[in-house]
Structure 1
Amino acid sequence: MAHTFQVTFDAHEPRKLGRFWADLLGYQEQPPPAGFATWDEALTAFGVPEDEHDSAYAIVDPAGVGPRIFLQQVPEGKSAKNRVHLDVNVAAQVQYDQRRAKVAEVAERAVELGATRVREVDEPKGYAMVMLDPEGNEFCLQ
């Protein structure tokens, strides 16, 4: 039996970083609990101090297929290379000869959202653009 999983990011600003990933992936903010219009309303009702409302954030695939992404606030910044990173398959459904253009298009959009290009990887096994999200976490567009 397979197990489900979520991907967890340590973040300085979980909500801001979560919105970056939601926009890039086509995800949405996880809806607040039933009976609440917003997470801020729910957190206030649960007694969470307002200055702690950005201590965690979650985004979900609206189709329910991809994993939940949870972002948790930590005091320290990123200090080393990621041991695990996301490969975002933006060109999987595109003709092989058009994949570079599709990756470049999405990379430009990611930069507009706050990402940074690091380098291109062009190998016999495939093409990818290595990027950094707004908090310096590495990911690839392929």
Structure 2
Amino acid sequence: MRPVQIVFDAQDPGRLAAFWAAALADRGYRVPGPPDGAADWPSWLAARGVPEDQWNSASAVESTDPAQPRLFFQRVPEPKTVKNRVHIDLQAGGGPSVPPAEQRERIAAAVDRLTALGAAFVENRSGMGTSWAVLTDPEGNEFCT
């Protein structure tokens, strides 16, 4: 059991888990495999009598470092309608100890990589000696890099 789990409401938990696993792969995150040595999640769920229409009701990504939080995605019936009150910061720019031009280069590279994975770029921002970009994941959840 992880010490912290961050939960996201989602329309398509599997899609968001795949996005965040790819977005955080360089930090050791992945979609965990099924327990008990099962070949895949559908086989494991079917063997437990879970109806097929429930197979995408939840998904998660975990870090190879067990001290890092787990991201859990749960299907909800309603779509996202307002701005997130909590969001993930990927810290791609390196912070105020990194020269501004290098921060912008790092951020631009991260934006390119993340938009190729399905994120949408919103805007660049700066303040307090640091720069970042605001993006949204495939379901419109805001995050920064």
Deviations 1:15-62 (Å, cap 9, x if unpaired)? 011100000011111121123121111111111111211110011012
Other-structure match for 2:117: 113
Pick which of 21-30 and 32-41 moved more: 32-41
1:123 and 2:113 are equivalent in the alignment: no
Other-structure match for 2:68: 66
Question: Matches of 1:74 and 1:125 in 2, distance apart?
Answer: 39
- Please tell me whether the aligned partners of residues 31 and 62 of structure 2 are also in contact (alpha carbons under 8 angstroms): yes
Identity %: 41
Normalising by structure 1, we get a TM-score of 0.90
Which secondary structure does the structure 1 equivalent of 2:64 belong to? coil
Paired letter, 2:114: A
Query: Alignment partner for residue 52 of structure 1, among 46, 51, 54?
Result: 54
Other-structure match for 2:140: 136
1:31 and 2:33 are equivalent in the alignment: yes
Deviations 1:62-93 (Å, cap 9, x if unpaired)? 23342111100011110001111111122339
Which secondary structure does the structure 1 equivalent of 2:37 belong to? coil
Structure 1: gaps spanning 5 or more residues: none
Question: Matches of 1:106 and 1:65 in 2, distance apart?
Answer: 24
Deviation (angstroms), 1:124: 2.4
Which secondary structure does the structure 2 equivalent of 1:96 belong to? coil
Runs of 4+ with >4 A deviation: none
Question: Matches of 2:57 and 2:67 in 1, distance apart?
Answer: 26
Deviation (angstroms), 1:125: 4.0
Instruction: Count residues with an aligned counterpart.
Output: 139
